Amino acid sequence: MIRNQWYAILSSEEVPRQGLVGVTRMGEKLALWRDETGSVACIIDQCCHRGASISAGKVVNGQAQCPFHGFEYDKQGKVKLIPANGKANEVADRYRVQHYPARDSYGLIWIFWGDQSADIPEIPFFNDLKQGFYYTQIKDHWPVHYTRCIENQMDVVHVPFVHHNTIGRGGKTIVYGPKVKWEGNKLTWYVKNVVDDGHTVAKPAKDMGSEDDLYSLEIIMPNIWHNIIAEKVRVFAAFAPVDEENCMIYLRFYQSFMPVWGLRHLIGWVGRIYSSIILNQDKQVVITQLPKKSSLRMGEKLIPGDRPIAEFRRKNEQLMEEYNPKI
Ligand code: FES
Ligand SMILES: [Fe+2]
């Protein structure tokens, strides 16, 4: 996983107003909670005293209290109180655990998984989805690395096979392009699939026509995805890395054409059911992929239609080289 990035790791309601939450993300045990103002904190869930799970404790005065001997941690992971030493005793700096800057934005909990000293950028999100949409959400655990999950949503070749009776009806097996465009850490790809009537596809990207007329999808590195189904209908997903072999997917159906309360709930419900059927079709295949994690030079024999996946792997490698120190 790439260091020094904002990762969407949970849905906002999974960190309630009160209490501590223990969760595995980024291959680490994390403890999260909210202070009195509702802002979120995230520290490593292993007490520096004798290793107990801090998340099994409680929140006291906006700080996380370990259940074993009552050490109290602030949002920076620093122990502010050791009850056995008395309130009057100042706690030495070495009593601390690692923390990650955490935020609650766009209905998701984000952590900046990186160096304490790094410059912290804005949380990356799709501009279109920042306001004006209603959404419903599915949460689903997949037993593969998050790179396999995100690549599945970038795969324009699988649609007529895996989704032959849903979104891939019509047998459009020929893949033009896809055209791809990077803007910083955001990749957009433009799709045109057609039925194979025997014609050859020599220079597919050239024959695709204007980007404005093409179906497009986007990712923002490292772990969010946006499917532009129509101006007012979108699907979004965050792929929260659990560890090297597991991912939690938060998939959302967004719509902005129906603001009326009852109808919007009905549409949200239908969108949610349909999305979960499609996601489950993907899951049945992706969980069989080996290895469980992708990488740039893994020996897979990609084809031109896999261009978005190849681009993702290249960018992933480039960001890893930039941010993950070699050991
Ligand atoms: S193990 Fe946490 S306070 Fe002792
Ligand atoms: Fe799919």
- Residues with Cβ–ion distance below 5 A, ligand 2: 282
Domain containing 180 equals 127-323
pLDDT digits (tens, 9 = 90+) for 245-284: 999 999 999 999 999 989 999 999 999 999 999 999 999 9
Listed residues 52, 80, 113: the one ending a domain: 113
Same domain, 133 and 70: no
The total of structural domains in the chain comes to 2
Q: Are residues 144 and 55 in the same domain?
A: no
CA angle 201, 203, 204 (to 5 degrees): 65
Task: Give 280: exposed, middle or buried? Use CB within 10 Å, 0-12, 13-18, 19+.
Answer: exposed
Q: At 147, list the tokens.
A: 């790179």
Q: What is the predicted pLDDT for the residue at 202?
A: 62
Q: In the predicted model, what is the mean pLDDT of residues 142-160?
A: 97
Q: Buried b / exposed e across 304-322, counting CB within 10 Å, b at 16+?
A: ebbbbbbbbbebbeebbee
Q: Is the pLDDT of residue 119 over 90?
A: no
Does residue 109 sit in the same domain as residue 201?
A: no
Is 150 found in the same domain as 108? no
Domain assignment of residue 266, yes or no: yes
Backbone angles phi, psi at 316, to 5 degrees: -60, -50
CA 218 to ligand 2 centroid distance, Å: 14
Residue 110: count of CB within 10 angstroms of its CB:
26
Give me the long-range contacts of 317-322 (CB less than 8 A, separation at least 24): 319/2, 319/5, 319/185, 319/221, 319/222, 320/2
Q: Are residue 213 and residue 158 in the same domain, yes or no?
A: yes
Ligand nearest to the CA of 47: 1
Work out the pLDDT band at 101, boundaries 50, 70, 90. very high
Question: Is residue 119, in this structure, part of any structural domain at all?
Answer: no
Give residues (CB < 6 A) around ligand 1. Answer: 47, 49-50, 52, 66, 68-71
CA distance 304 to 302: 7
Nearest CA to ligand 1 atom 3: 69
Q: What is the mean pLDDT of residues 142-150?
A: 97
Ligand 2 center–CA 150 separation, angstroms: 10
Same domain, 208 and 59: no
Question: Strands across the sheet with 5-11, in order?
Answer: 5-11, 108-113, 102-105
Whether residue 122 lies inside any domain: the answer is no
Q: Is residue 299 part of a domain?
A: yes
Distance 62 CA to ligand 1 centre (A): 18
As a whole number of angstroms, the distance between CA 149 and CA 239 comes to 7
- Please check the confidence at residue 118 and state whether its pLDDT lies above 80: no
Whether residues 206 and 318 fall in one domain? yes
Residue carrying the six token digits 């037993």: 143
pLDDT digits (tens, 9 = 90+) for 178-208: 999 999 999 999 999 999 988 777 666 777 8
- pLDDT above 70 covers a percentage of the chain that reads 98
User: Is 143 within the bounds of a domain?
Assistant: yes
Interacting residues of 246 by C-beta distance below 8 A, sequence separation 6+: 141, 142, 143, 144, 145
Range from 83-92, 115-124, 137-146 carrying the lowest mean pLDDT: 115-124
pLDDT value for 3: 94
Same domain, 247 and 318: yes
Q: What is the pLDDT of residue 67?
A: 98
Residues 154 and 286 in one domain: yes
Atom of ligand 1 nearest to the CA of 51: 1
Residue 22 lies in a domain: yes
Residues 6+ apart with CB under 8 A from 217: 153, 154, 188, 189, 191, 225, 226, 227, 228, 308
- Domain-ending residue, one of 113, 139, 156: 113
Give yes or no for residue 327 having a pLDDT over 70.
no
Q: Please state which of the ranges 46-60, 82-96, 177-191, 197-211 shows the lowest mean pLDDT.
A: 197-211
Helix (H, G, I), strand (E, B) or coil at 182: strand
Structure tokens, 262: 């009852």
Ligand closest in space to the Cα of 161: 2
134 shares its domain with 106: no
Query: Where is 27: in which H helix or E strand?
Result: none
Question: What's 14's domain CATH number?
Answer: 2.102.10.10
% of the chain beyond a pLDDT of 90: 89
Top mutation candidate among 44, 45, 47 for ligand 1, by most atoms within 8 Å of CB: 47
CATH of the domain at 176: 3.90.380.10
Going by CA atoms, what residue is nearest to atom 1 of ligand 1?
50
CA dist., res. 327 & res. 322, Å (int): 14
Question: How far is Cα 95 from Cα 73, in angstroms, rounded to an integer?
Answer: 9
Q: Does residue 316 share a domain with residue 245? A: yes
pTM: 0.95
Mean pLDDT for the stretch of residues 73-97: 97
Among candidate residues 83, 113, 143, the one where a domain is terminated? 113
> Does residue 120 form part of some domain?
no
Per-residue pLDDT band for 290 (boundaries 50, 70, 90) equals: very high
How many Å apart are CA 308 and CA 305, to the nearest integer? 8
Asked if the structure places residue 307 within a domain, the reply is yes
Largest CA-CA distance found in the chain, in angstroms, rounded: 83
Q: Could you tell me if 200 and 271 lie in one domain?
A: yes
